[in-house]
A and B are shown apart, each in its own frame.
Chain A
Amino acid sequence: MTTSLDLLQTLDPTRADDPAASVRPETRRELLRAIAATPLPEVREMSDGVVVPLRRRAVVRRLVPALVAAAVVAAVSVSLVRVPEGNDRPAALGPALAFATEGPVIKVRVLDPEADAARYNAELKAQGLNVTLRLSPVSPSVVGEAIAASIEPGPREDEIGFGKYPAGCQGTACSPEFSIPVGYSGKADLYIGRAAKPGEGYSGAGEADGPGEALEGVEFENQTVAYVLRKLGERGMTAEYRVGEQSEAKDTVPDNWRVEDVALLSAKRAVLFVKP
């Protein structure tokens, strides 16, 4: 049986073409010699152990406030809402996203979680943001969280943040919102969780005993399969199994095996990670 890790091994870019094979022995020797000939001196190192050109860091620090200030000005001018022209269907449906500049960030709220990615992306683009958004169904406790994201370096990219609204909402009553720092000019592709529709499989799930989840309040770790199955059954759920370190898939396992973890596939189906 092929495990997911086996599959990943097939993706190793050096698997069929080992870069070490193209490095000549004298190249290795020269690099070793050159490094060992480097004096062990008063080189300033950053606390993370990585030697960086200090002068350059200082310049970057000085530049950042100026960039942000410029970006704030730019953002004010783009925060006017653009109304799509024409009589096409997206316009008839109204905006799928709402934008508001709040201090240093642009808050983006998802008004229509069922809109297709093209509508989101057109609206993000109209705001001058180089951001794409794709929503995927997730379990209740992680609505609004990023399932995956590819974020290009740019001013304050660390401050791209994810959340949900209305404040204090729970589970499926929440809609995603996220914030993009004013002045962030890189490209960001965001995959964010939305509440799953009935019967829809999850692309991402929170802890099975997390708030609003199927096993909220249930101690399942190290319990028997029979016990956890009963608890799942009370919530109308069924299960499949993964066994041991290799996560071997099984449809059935003995009732007295122990449950190590539970992953939610949908509101109706869970995976139990079990061991004898």
Chain B
Amino acid sequence: MTHLLTRARVGPGEADRVIEPPAGPRLARFEDLFTCHHDDVLRYFVRRLDIRADAADLVAETFLIAWRRLDEVPAGQILPWLYGVARRVLSNHRRGETRRHGLADRLRDDLRTTPVAAEPAAVETQHAADVFRQLSDPDRELLALVAWEGLDTTQLAATLGCSRNAAMVRLHRARRRLDHLLTQTPRGAHS
């Protein structure tokens, strides 16, 4: 595999220098994990935050935890495991417990680019958005993990830390509540 780290810039203005990669196999594993899943984890946070740039610290925190706990990452369920960590990082962030990471500075800057202006939503989409906001937080998260992150029930179970059966039932109930609200909420009724 390609080692991206043999030459890395340390910071703006500093000359390139060779970094000795620590513990080869561990780094290689982490590099794989990071390279394959960075964008998925970034999207996870951006979908759930009002301010895009806020995702930078949370992405850094998630991968920092993955780096420290690499031995615990289950080989077949890496991304669901990362989403599980990301959920806790996000919940800490919402409680106001976020560390500002110097190492996320560049990412923060990159994310500050102006988002593409959203096109006006179709009536049906607006209705779905209104209904989605009415769901409880756990239902919304469950449905988002399936609709946005595209998880299947096995991955959902790994992310939520529950059995596949429990995940299936929870998803089923959440979908049911969503369907209810979609049919019961008059369009444009929700403020």
Chain B residues with CB under 8 A of A205: 180
Give the CA-CA distance A19 to B14 in the complex, in Å.
28
A84 an interface residue at 8 Å Cβ cutoff? Answer: no
Stretch from A34-42, A99-107, A169-177 forming part of the interface with B? A34-42
A-side contacts of B42, CB under 8 Å? 19-20, 23
Interface status of A92 (Cβ within 8 A of chain B): no
Cα A201 to Cα B42 in complex, Å, equals 40
Whether the pair B132, A153 counts as a contact (CB closer than 8 A) is no
Interface positions of B from 71 to 126, Cβ below 8 Å from A = 85, 88-89, 92, 94-97, 99, 103-104, 106-107, 110-111, 113, 115-116, 118-119, 122, 124-125
Query: Given A36-B22, A36-B27, A263-B180, does the pair A12, B47 have CB atoms closer than 8 Å?
Result: yes
Q: A261, B181: Cβ atoms under 8 Å?
A: no
Q: How far is the CA of A146 from the CA of B137 in the complex (A)?
A: 11
B111 to chain A, nearest CB (A): 6
Query: Would you call B106 and A30 a contact (CB within 8 A)?
Result: yes
Q: Which of A44-52, A74-82, A120-128, A231-239 binds B?
A: A44-52
Question: Would you call B136 and A35 a contact (CB within 8 A)?
Answer: no
Encoded as 1 (CB less than 8 Å from any B CB) or 0, chain A from 122 to 163 comes to 000000000000000000000000111110010000000000
**A191 lies within 8 A of chain B by Cβ:** yes
**A258 within 8 A of partner (CB):** no
Cα of A92 to Cα of B95 in the assembled complex, Å: 42
Check B5 against A32 for contact (C-beta < 8 Å).
yes
Q: How far is the CB of A268 from chain B (nearest CB, A)?
A: 14
Given contacts A12-B148, A14-B46, A56-B97, contact A27 B107 (CB under 8 A): yes
Tell me, yes or no, whether A89 is within 8 Å of chain B by CB: no
Assess whether B147 is in contact with A9, with CB atoms less than 8 Å apart: yes
Q: CA A5 – CA B172 in complex, angstroms?
A: 12
Contacts of A147 on B, CB cut-off 8 Å? 134, 136
B130 to chain A minimum Cβ distance, whole angstroms, is: 10
Contacts of B125 in A (CB 8 A): 7, 10-11
Chain B residue nearest to A266 (CB atoms) is B184
Q: Is there an interface contact between A32 and B39, defined as CB atoms closer than 8 Å?
A: no
Cβ of A167 < 8 Å from any Cβ of B? no
- Say yes or no: B110 contacts A22, CB within 8 Å: yes
Residues of B within 8 A of A23 (CB): 38-39, 42, 107, 110-111
A18 within 8 A of partner (CB):
yes
Assuming the contacts A11-B129, A51-B65, asked whether A31 and B107 have C-beta atoms less than 8 A apart, the reply is yes
Residues of B within 8 A of A146 (CB): 136
Taking CB atoms and an 8 Å cut-off, the chain B residues in 123-153 that contact chain A are 124-125, 128-129, 132-137, 143-144, 146-148
A204, CB-defined interface residue at 8 Å: yes
Residues of B within 8 A of A185 (CB): none
Identify which of residues 46-64 in chain B touch chain A, using a CB-to-CB cut-off of 8 Å: 46-47, 52, 55, 59-61, 63-64
**What are 21 A-B pairs at a CB distance below 8 A?**
A7-B124, A8-B128, A8-B132, A8-B143, A18-B43, A19-B43, A19-B46, A23-B107, A27-B106, A29-B5, A30-B8, A31-B103, A36-B22, A37-B19, A50-B65, A51-B61, A52-B97, A204-B177, A263-B176, A263-B179, A271-B179
- Which A residues lie at the B interface, using CB under 8 A? 4-5, 7-14, 16-20, 22-24, 26-38, 40, 43, 45, 48-53, 56-57, 146-150, 153, 191, 201-205, 242, 247, 261, 263, 265, 271, 273
Q: A4-B182, A28-B34, A32-B38 are in contact. List 11 more A-B contacts (CB 8 A).
A: A9-B148, A11-B129, A23-B42, A26-B9, A32-B5, A36-B31, A36-B67, A37-B22, A49-B88, A50-B89, A50-B92
